[in-house]
Homo-oligomer: A and B are copies of this chain.
Amino acid sequence: MPKLIDHEKRREQIAEATWRIILERGMEGATVRNIAKEAGLSLGALRHYFATQDELLIYAMTLVKERATARIAKIASQEPFTPKEQIIRLLLELVPTNQEKMAEAEVWFAFTAYFRHKQGVFDAMHDGIYAGLQKVMNYAEQVGLLPKKMDKELETEKLYAIVDGLALHALLDPKRLDGKQMERILVQHLTELFERGS
């Protein structure tokens, strides 16, 4: 009996090979030829799974987003934390505090720059983080953590800037800005925001 090959599993393996290539050589290196080699496939076999380079790149980026979303959903469903602890843990999932998230940030950065001038191909501008932070702020408000006199929209936008600014800087200069320092900044920011009302 022939070995059954899981189509979706193979597509994920190809996406992972794409990430590795981007991490090593950037978007310029992410040609179908290089990706096929990295994935241990012939060009023809690769084309069986992805008809075009853009189709493959979009799938690879979507998979980054799905994995991050899954991690965050898992944390959001965990109960044994205080609301403040849970919010901090969620925010820490959005910044590159380990190798896996550093790779995600690298891929996000490369893809966003690459797809920026290809309109309609991939909406890298709306990666769901802003919408996620709006939910986090609404949750903080519901559990009474936010000060009463507060511009929630402004604070959400500011928190979003801090999260993505930290992610960008950790990516560009990981020696200066490490996971511990990002955690300290996020904890200090939330502590101050939550205490402002009391």
Within 8 A of B (CB), among A23-43: 24-29
- Closest B residue by C-beta to A118: B26
Number of residues of chain A lying within 8 A (CB) of chain B: 42
Q: Is A185 an interface residue (CB 8 A)?
A: yes
CB-CB < 8 A to A196: which residues of B? 192
- Closest B residue by C-beta to A153: B181
Contact with B along A172-198 (1 / 0, CB 8 A): 110011000100110011001000100
Q: Is A117 an interface residue (CB 8 A)?
A: yes
User: Whole-angstrom distance between the alpha carbons of A113 and B25 in the complex?
Assistant: 11
Q: Is A126 an interface residue (CB 8 A)?
A: yes
CB-CB < 8 A to A162: which residues of B? 158, 161-162, 165
20 further contact pairs, Cβ within 8 A, besides A161-B168, A161-B185:
A26-B117, A109-B116, A112-B113, A124-B172, A130-B176, A154-B181, A157-B177, A157-B181, A157-B185, A158-B162, A158-B185, A158-B188, A158-B189, A160-B165, A161-B162, A161-B165, A164-B165, A164-B168, A165-B168, A168-B168
Closest 4 A/B residue pairs (Cβ): A161-B165, A165-B165, A26-B117, A113-B113
Query: 6 A–B contact pairs at CB < 8 A?
Result: A28-B117, A151-B188, A157-B181, A161-B161, A164-B165, A165-B166
